[in-house]
Amino acid sequence: MKKALEITLGIVTSVGGFLEIGSVTTAVQAGAAFGYHLLWAILLGTVCLIFLVEMSGRFSAVSRHTIVDATRERFGFPFFAIVLVGVVLVFFMVLVAELGGIGLSLQILTGIGFPWWAIPVSFAVWLLMWKGTFGLIENGASILGLVTISFVVAALKLNPDWGAAGHGLLPGLPGDDKAKYGFIAVSILGASISPHLMYFYSSGAIEDEWDKTYIPINRFIAGFGISFGGVLSMAALVTAALAFQPNGVEVDTFEQSALLMTTAFPKWGFFLFAASMLFTCLGAALETSLAIAYFFAQGFGWSWSEDLTPSKNARFCFTYTIIILLAAIPLLVGIDPIKVTLMSMALTAATLPLAVLPFLFLMNDPIYLGEHRNGWVSNTVVGITILISFVLALIAIPLQIIGG
């Protein structure tokens, strides 16, 4: 019974916690600019994430290590320090984007500019971290995030062309605007394959005291939950294609994205979108703050657990306190969260080898995993996807910057 509840909660977490400002912004931009043509990027990212999340859970359940502490133990501190700097910098940008997403949601609801929300939102996130437990953070925001199922209903209500959508699942090149197409594809991959989920999930498996008996449950949660999350992301793209393309709208700002569901749900579309973004960005901000604190604490061998009181967890709590405070600064001075989002997603894709390759080595290490180490399928799928993301990022980011 306990495990059945854990499976349900795990799936709810994966579904409700999948979308956030990065995945929604990139999917909506892709749908508005290129119709169904970038569905393949979401599919590829989702498949890779299923493998990565499954591997993270399996690694912690079998080895009783988190990915971070094993990385430091296996590769030594100098290598770990390089991973720490690269990964934490990108996670920090993601955190700024998520806090900005909450601020923008409140801005469209109230008319008060997002910089004014930077401090209250950061304080609320910090307070939830300070007072909350791992279960509250993992499940609370994700259950609220189930409102994003409205994206699927919206897409279905607009009667998509299933043939064209199926065609979009195969990669292809557009006639013009190749740089923009490449940049959005990279951003979608960065938004889908978010390494913070890998670290968060691995730490969660230790927090929840998983052992080898959890391997089948882990596989089910990763496969089913993340697949459904991918469907939500595809639904956002399809809705954008059907709502924005006939009006000639190419989405560059959050104000434009807010109109996503007003065609499918004339009465509630605007508020459904605002609520979706508010809850999913809140969940992602909590997860990202926690992932950064886990990274430092596990890497430096401090005591860490979201379930311990701050007095027993001083350095862990100090880390997320400082990080959340620092993340509020760019928003306070008015830096556009959407620009931060797009750049952070593209940089996530560019730095994927730094986060994922050491993990792939660990997943093939018999010392940690024994008979449960990776097979060739997992290695090939993750290896090829990371390579594609990295190469696309190397080509598309400079092109997009040069092209403005």
Partner 1 sequence: MDSALSWIGTAGMAGDAWLRQTTPDTYARQTLELSHQNLRQISNDLLESPPLGPDSAYLNTVLARSRRRIARLAALITAKDAPDFARELDLLRADQRIVKRLSDKIESEE
Q: Give the footprint of partner 1 on this chain (CB under 8 A).
A: 108-111, 243-244, 247-250, 252-253, 255-256, 258-259, 262-263, 266-271
Neighbours of 356 (CB within 10 A): 23
Nearer to partner 1, 133 or 256 (CB): 256
Q: Measured from the CB atom, is 246 or 366 closer to partner 1?
A: 246
Pair of tokens at residue 67: 């990915």
Least CB distance to partner 1 at residue 275 (A): 14
Distance in angstroms (rounded) separating the CA atoms of residues 323 and 339: 20
- Written as six digits, the tokens of 3 are 């495990």
Residue 262 Cβ vs partner 1, minimum distance, rounded to whole Å: 5
- Residue identified by tokens 């290598």 is 79
**What residues have CB less than 8 Å from 68, skipping those under 6 apart?**
199, 202, 203, 294, 295, 298, 299
Tokens 């990915």 locate to 67
Comparison of 78 and 111: residue with beta carbon closer to partner 1: 111
Query: Closest approach of Cβ 145 to partner 1, in Å?
Result: 22
- Residue 43 or 258 with smaller CB distance to partner 1: 258
Distance CA 291, CA 303 (A): 14
Least distance (Å) between residue 227 CB and partner 1: 32
Rounded Cα–Cα distance for residues 278 and 141 (Å): 10
Closest CA to 337 of 88, 87, 95: 95
Shortest Cβ distance from residue 57 to partner 1 (Å)? 41
Nearer to partner 1, 188 or 272 (CB): 272
- Maximum distance among all alpha carbons in the chain? 59
CB of 161 to partner 1, least distance (A): 21
Nearer to partner 1, 226 or 261 (CB): 261
